[in-house]
Structure 1
Amino acid sequence: MSDTDELRREADAVLADLVGDHQGAARLRADQWRAIEALVADRRRALVVQRTGWGKSAVYFVATALLRRRGSGPTVIVSPLLALMRNQVEAASRAGIHARTINSANPEEWDTIETEVAGGEVDVLLVSPERLNNPDFRDHVLPKLTSSTGLLVVDEAHCISDWGHDFRPDYRRLRTMLAELPPTVPVLATTATANARVTADVAEQLGTGQDAVGTAGQGSPTGTLVLRGSLDRESLSLSVLRLPDAAHRLAWLAEQLDSLPGSGIIYTLTVAAAGEVTTFLRQHGHAVMSYTGRTENAEREAAEADLLANRVKALVATSALGMGFDKPDLGFVVHLGSPSSPISYYQQVGRAGRGVEHAEVLLLPGSEDQAIWRYFASLGFPPEDQVRRTLDVLSASDRPLSLPALEPRVELRRSRLEMMLKVLDVDGAVHRVKGGWTATGTPWTYDADRYAWVERQREAERRAMLAYAESTDCRMELLRRELDDEGAAPCGRCDNCSGKRFTAMPSADMVALARGELGRPGVQVEPRRMWPTGLPAVGLDLKGRIPEQHQAAEGRALGRLSDIGWGNRLRPLLSAQAADGPVPDEVLSGAVTVLTDWSKGPGGWASGQPGALSRPVGVVVIDSFTRPQLVRSLAERVAEIGRMPLLGAVTCTDGIHPSAVPRSNGAQRLRALHGALVLPPEVAESVAAGPGPVLLVDDFTETGWTLAVAARLLRQAGAEEVLPLVLAVQG
């Protein structure tokens, strides 16, 4: 038996252990074996682009076992999601591979894990990309890890590319690690969602080049092996069902969920929508759980376990449940609202049908989808003037600046600021150290052409997703073409190939119940209790906790702009293009309902509870520059219906209005609002004459600082409490 044959026999035996095949009949696919042979025998670099469920994880676990037997150090897997890590630790154990993970959820274990790695007790170490640029990990752990690594795996490698749908700048830190790896250490990059441009870019980012393409490419023994297979998923049946509105979609789900095969995932575009859908489905007897980016880690683990064990019919999830979640028998994926990219859609639906012959994939597009896409599109890489401003601030500082310290100086919200800094770090313009960020002084060029090209790609993807929903052609073929799959052909399974499977309209009774649930107004508006960090540095002597006697009370809004109930009604009313006018009767009715529920609820002024709020003695409105009629008429009508006087308005100094003040982050907004909002003497006198709580009316709140500054003025004037009432909460 040749060395190659012996290695193949050994590899198939490891695979059998990995998949629990006690008869030893399991055999690697041809391209799985080619990748493993390249990694183990030739110590090459390989890029594997294969469909979800193809078995990419089997490649690196089998390769790990073989390399460890030959004396190699541990495998390091860079993996983006905790769900993926948890699945893979469990999978590795089946093949006798000891895997450990370092991520934000287990800091108390890091020292122990590092000791185990140093002692040779760990076969696989999974790390999140964010760890790669954590100063302690980067400076103290990563160098030792790099010197001892036996195999480097970059999972979900499309995240490296800003042409891809889920670019993560932390992934680019891998270039540093790759540059320092000994040349004999093999590297494997894997993804299921890369078109030709992303594939080429990933190879470039990894510093590998690309001298073999497709399953037939050979390449040189020292070059990169690129294995790209068919992206067809024979088990998936794709469908699109258009229903009149959100109430019909929610009602359809409530009536048809039990008819879908097995258990599955219901994707929504926003956290708010996930909450609405979960609440309604539970009310109608369905075992479902919510899973979003705001779900606590312990709750996420419990939700994953319940879905894996089929204790729930579905998880109602945002894209937080995405890459790497592995449940082979997942029977369906439903999207309540359309993702903005066919590539990300393909990835999410790929969760289904891995280990079953048939799985249903259904898209229920909504009228709100494009508005939500536009919001997320606004969070891309900032314009050059904002980037330069950040670099100037860092250069002028004699110490590292944290994100909270930067916010008062830079007009960017924190998540966008952090993403920008990570890109600048990779480009060498800034450096992350203990305590924050510093400028390196390295010249940096704003690649406007590249950023514009990326945005054009995003826009093309949005148009393609709209076309997917409207298309009469094969849906799987369309998705495969978007991923540059040369073998794309009609699937024979989707609704356009084989006929509609989902055509039933929900019953009128269920639609009415859904409409009632979505039409129920009222969400809490949490008050600001702490001043932003760093204000003294920009001339504002405000820090720490806002004095309780200057705070607003918890307020109320009709809804969130991101939900599918009141959000769908309020977005057109509050959009930049909307004409100003008196408050619509439907919206006024919702506001009255919110106030009534508020007054009778826990702590409300009509609840009769000890220590409850007193009834408001008057209404104050915040002057609006963009919607003066809407806000003023809302305040007037609420005052009239509640039989309270309209005490006047919090106004703006000449030429400055809250609508013109940046909403980029709380510190910037507060800096601009401080001194710009004023309480006219006659209004202050009316408030002081109360005395009692004041109802404060505005159109919507995003950062909460307009309400906080106005409440402070009213409390200083003598208001017993300030109760904010707004139409909408952004987010």
Structure 2
Amino acid sequence: MEHTSNADLRAQADTVLARLVGDATGTARLREDQWRAIEALVADRRRALVVQRTGWGKSAVYFVATSLLRARGGGPTVIVSPLLALMRNQVDAAARAGIHARTINSSNTEEWEAVQAEIEAGEVDVLLVSPERLNNPDFRDQVLPKLSAATGLLVVDEAHCISDWGHDFRPDYRRLRTMLGDLPPGVPVLATTATANARVTADVAEQLGTGGASDALVLRGPLDRESLSLGVLRLPDAAHRMAWLADHLDDLPGSGIVYTLTVAAAEEVTAFLRQRGHAVASYTGRTENADRQQAEEDLLANRVKALVATSALGMGFDKPDLGFVVHLGSPSSPIAYYQQVGRAGRGVEHAEVLLLPGREDEAIWEYFTSLAFPSEDLVRRTLDVLARADRPLSLPALEPLVELRRSRLETMLKVLDVDGAVNRVKGGWTATGHPWSYDADRYDWVARQRKAEQQAMREYASTTDCRMEFLQRQLDDEGAKPCGRCDNCAGPRYTVDTSTVALDAARVDLGRAGVEVEPRRMWPTGLPAIGIDLKGRIPVGEQASSGRALGRLSDIGWGNRLRPLFAPQASDAPVPDDVARAVVEVLADWAKGPGGWASGAAGDQPRPVGVVTVASRTRPTLIHSLGARIAEIGRLPLLGSVEYAGDASRVPRSNSAQRLKALDGSLTVPSALASALAQGRGPVLLVDDFTETGWTLAVAARLLRRAGADGVLPLVLAVQG
């Protein structure tokens, strides 16, 4: 039986809940597990991990607990939250309960000083911080110690991010170990997530024990979402999937989210659906902050039918009446998929969840897999560079000295920081000199886990058993059982039919060839440090002009046709006829477009006087045949190739500085080509198969310009991105 004090505490908690949810009657009541968590935090000052399905009400636990703790003289609640969308939602929700919430994140730097002053004055009840702040030197060294000392409740939202066994591991979250250890005795801690299997749950619970507490309360509930009806629609190709969406978007209930796997696909689908008369907006990692916020507000207010989004719109976005989630392309993890579809149906009785897998999915999975933790050799070399440096090295200064792109380098350094091997300070990174071991077993296990998750997604798409039960079992839910609602339990609710009009429009849209290739205009920083005397702006007389590509490898139109040409096992062969014809269309559109050479108007780009190819040891037949076909159809001379010296064509897939180091002095203009360029009076088309960073094209263009070419117009089959 409940003690009287705890009975009073529960009555107070229910009163706060009523304010939070806007219940004027005061009849709102906490769920039993919600109350158990609040009781553990407020009455017992314990650490708790809550693993509950999306929409269960995890935020109610920490807001109610905050109100009760503050009423008892506790310090502010600190919520570590991964996404700005969540922060905006949470600030609004807190205000309904009379809780004053503020945020410190990358989008409100101008408010940081004022927020810190409000905290010191005791005016802030809840502070939401992004995990990246925890590893910022100023914040870590100056703000965090005072914040840790004053914190009344620490909340770790989306706690699966702590664990590298989880589907969305974020190294910045590992800094929480330090904060957990520095909290004064008796400060309660709450970790919440909807997407943790048994292993992740155990890992997070163990990490909550940092600092001596070893009795973390784990509350794990059933993960079935009774409002969701899951289904899979298998359509022949990208055109059919886009046409289906255009035909059936208005049939889906309410407003919702259409997820794509890449930014390029999100932008393509958004443009197509708008063309077909649908009110939709794009939401990706490239979307400006203000545009993201506007898109969120438009969806919340039902001013758009859908946001077409990448995983950038994920954890934390809260729209209780979201009516559907459609995936154009399959995520690589059933746990990530469960997390994304959980955005729907929180406050409505029925929501539709549909997966439309595509044949490009596995190539995209493979690309993201290639971004895993670097090899031990690369890590050791980075540590050696830092150890030899006489000062902290910033990312731009360190990047030229190691063979890693900046994003992977930064992620690696954050992991090494948590492991104690490096330290982030003002001005950059330093080596600590502490012993460090490469945990190959752990990294191999994570890689195997990712492969297993990919296989599980294949099985999810093809299973004839209950789909919700399948996802629950992937999350180790002991209560998993057939849902009775999915397409396998209750029969499909949608056919795969598409209209001829929509399908024809989708084929035209996806068949539209041509992507602009922006030239490099600045040399990367740090080249002098690796012996290359280049810096600043590339002289205009040595730059390439704006170029063209047939398509992006990440898009769902020409990307699907081009990817097989660049697969590691693909044989070198002449350019396929359909690809060659499409390249000619790109050239024709380019010539007629703004600044093109077709009109012959003053100020326009002069007509090319010849074709030059970039030599290749991996696809020489493909590139030479492409150059020859262009020369033949355009009635232009094939002037020759920019050649590689020695073994230099094996340019590493690394950062810009390392690519330039490999290219420096290795590309040459043969004498016969130089003679031909000296006689010509006009630009040349520079033909290559593929560009990822643009540096091969930039270096080749510089050599051709120096050899006498009046201009260089790059033309490639594909771009990455």
Task: Say if 1:209 and 1:235 are closer, same or farther in 2 by CA, change over 3 A.
Answer: farther
Question: In the TM superposition, what is the alpha-carbon distance from 1:681 to its structure 2 partner?
Answer: 1.6
User: Is 2:618 aligned against 1:626?
Assistant: yes
| Alpha-carbon distance between aligned partners in 2 of 1:93 and 1:601, rounded to the nearest angstrom | 53
| Alpha-carbon distance between aligned partners in 2 of 1:613 and 1:360, rounded to the nearest angstrom | 52
Aligned mate of 2:692, from 668, 677, 702 = 702
Q: Output the amino acid matched with 1:438.
A: T
Equivalences for 1:518-597 in 2 at 5 Å? Answer: 518-597=510-589
User: Is 2:270 aligned against 1:278?
Assistant: yes
Question: In the TM superposition, what is the alpha-carbon distance from 1:611 to its structure 2 partner?
Answer: 1.5
Counterpart in the other structure of 1:384: 376
Equivalences for 1:17-32 in 2 at 5 Å? Answer: 17-32=19-34
Superposed CA offset, 1:303-336 (max 9, x none): 0000000000000000000001000000000000
SS of equivalent residue, structure 1 residue 577: coil
Question: In the TM superposition, what is the alpha-carbon distance from 1:509 to its structure 2 partner?
Answer: 2.8
How many percent of aligned residue pairs carry the same amino acid? 77
Equivalences for 1:673-688 in 2 at 5 Å? Answer: 673-688=663-678
Equivalences for 1:204-603 in 2 at 5 Å? Answer: 204-208=206-210, 223-603=215-595
Counterpart in the other structure of 1:86: 88
Counterpart contact for 2:510–2:557, Cα < 8 Å? yes
Superposed CA offset, 1:576-627 (max 9, x none): 2111111111111111111111111111112455421111111110001111
Counterpart in the other structure of 1:177: 179
Question: In the TM superposition, what is the alpha-carbon distance from 1:504 to its structure 2 partner?
Answer: 3.4
Q: Output the amino acid matched with 1:669.
A: R
RMSD (Å), alpha carbons = 1.2
Aligned mate of 1:671, from 651, 654, 661 = 661
Superposed CA offset, 1:238-271 (max 9, x none): 0000000000000000000000000000000000
Please list every run of at least 4 consecutive aligned residues from structure 1 whose deviation after the TM superposition is greater than 3 angstroms. Answer: 208-211, 607-610
Aligned mate of 1:153, from 149, 155, 176 = 155
Aligned mate of 2:111, from 109, 112, 122 = 109
Counterpart contact for 1:618–1:644, Cα < 8 Å? yes
SS of equivalent residue, structure 2 residue 465: coil
Question: In the TM superposition, what is the alpha-carbon distance from 1:420 to its structure 2 partner?
Answer: 0.6
Superposed CA offset, 1:428-448 (max 9, x none): 000011111110000000000
| Alpha-carbon distance between aligned partners in 2 of 1:341 and 1:33, rounded to the nearest angstrom | 32
Counterpart contact for 1:582–1:630, Cα < 8 Å? yes
Aligned mate of 2:191, from 174, 189, 192 = 189
| Alpha-carbon distance between aligned partners in 1 of 2:602 and 2:153, rounded to the nearest angstrom | 65
Counterpart contact for 2:16–2:97, Cα < 8 Å? yes
Aligned mate of 2:647, from 641, 651, 655 = 655
Q: Output the amino acid matched with 1:160.
A: I
TM-score, reference length from structure 2: 0.99
Aligned mate of 1:33, from 25, 32, 35 = 35
SS of equivalent residue, structure 2 residue 325: strand
Q: Which runs of 5+ in 1 are unaligned?
A: 212-221
Q: Output the amino acid matched with 2:413.
A: L
Superposed CA offset, 1:670-720 (max 9, x none): 110010100112211211211211110000000110000000001111222
SS of equivalent residue, structure 2 residue 23: coil
User: Is 2:64 aligned against 1:74?
Assistant: no
Counterpart in the other structure of 1:219: none
Q: Output the amino acid matched with 1:367.
A: R
| Alpha-carbon distance between aligned partners in 1 of 2:678 and 2:455, rounded to the nearest angstrom | 56
Counterpart contact for 2:80–2:156, Cα < 8 Å? yes
Counterpart contact for 1:203–1:210, Cα < 8 Å? no
SS of equivalent residue, structure 1 residue 651: strand
Equivalences for 1:609-648 in 2 at 5 Å? Answer: 609-648=601-640
Question: In the TM superposition, what is the alpha-carbon distance from 1:209 to its structure 2 partner?
Answer: 10
Question: In the TM superposition, what is the alpha-carbon distance from 1:503 to its structure 2 partner?
Answer: 1.5
Counterpart contact for 2:180–2:210, Cα < 8 Å? no
Question: In the TM superposition, what is the alpha-carbon distance from 1:466 to its structure 2 partner?
Answer: 0.2
Question: In the TM superposition, what is the alpha-carbon distance from 1:508 to its structure 2 partner?
Answer: 2.5
| Alpha-carbon distance between aligned partners in 1 of 2:91 and 2:553, rounded to the nearest angstrom | 39
| Alpha-carbon distance between aligned partners in 2 of 1:364 and 1:209, rounded to the nearest angstrom | 46
| Alpha-carbon distance between aligned partners in 2 of 1:436 and 1:724, rounded to the nearest angstrom | 37
| Alpha-carbon distance between aligned partners in 2 of 1:210 and 1:721, rounded to the nearest angstrom | 68
Counterpart contact for 1:527–1:553, Cα < 8 Å? yes
| Alpha-carbon distance between aligned partners in 1 of 2:333 and 2:658, rounded to the nearest angstrom | 32
Counterpart in the other structure of 2:718: 728
Q: Output the amino acid matched with 2:709.
A: A
TM-score, reference length from structure 1: 0.97
SS of equivalent residue, structure 2 residue 641: strand
SS of equivalent residue, structure 1 residue 591: helix
Counterpart contact for 1:210–1:224, Cα < 8 Å? no
| Alpha-carbon distance between aligned partners in 2 of 1:626 and 1:691, rounded to the nearest angstrom | 32
Counterpart in the other structure of 1:216: none
Question: In the TM superposition, what is the alpha-carbon distance from 1:285 to its structure 2 partner?
Answer: 0.2
| Alpha-carbon distance between aligned partners in 1 of 2:524 and 2:369, rounded to the nearest angstrom | 26
Pairs aligned (count): 719
Moved more, 124-133 or 504-513: 504-513
| Alpha-carbon distance between aligned partners in 2 of 1:520 and 1:596, rounded to the nearest angstrom | 13
SS of equivalent residue, structure 2 residue 340: helix
Q: Output the amino acid matched with 1:30.
A: E
Counterpart in the other structure of 1:218: none
Counterpart contact for 1:473–1:497, Cα < 8 Å? yes
Question: In the TM superposition, what is the alpha-carbon distance from 1:210 to its structure 2 partner?
Answer: 12
Question: In the TM superposition, what is the alpha-carbon distance from 1:386 to its structure 2 partner?
Answer: 0.6
Counterpart in the other structure of 1:217: none
Counterpart in the other structure of 2:97: 95
Moved more, 575-584 or 484-493: 575-584
| Alpha-carbon distance between aligned partners in 1 of 2:501 and 2:706, rounded to the nearest angstrom | 51
SS of equivalent residue, structure 2 residue 102: strand
Counterpart contact for 1:203–1:209, Cα < 8 Å? no
SS of equivalent residue, structure 2 residue 190: strand
| Alpha-carbon distance between aligned partners in 1 of 2:137 and 2:223, rounded to the nearest angstrom | 39
| Alpha-carbon distance between aligned partners in 2 of 1:154 and 1:610, rounded to the nearest angstrom | 62
User: Is 2:114 aligned against 1:129?
Assistant: no
| Alpha-carbon distance between aligned partners in 2 of 1:144 and 1:546, rounded to the nearest angstrom | 47
| Alpha-carbon distance between aligned partners in 2 of 1:449 and 1:576, rounded to the nearest angstrom | 27
| Alpha-carbon distance between aligned partners in 1 of 2:455 and 2:272, rounded to the nearest angstrom | 31
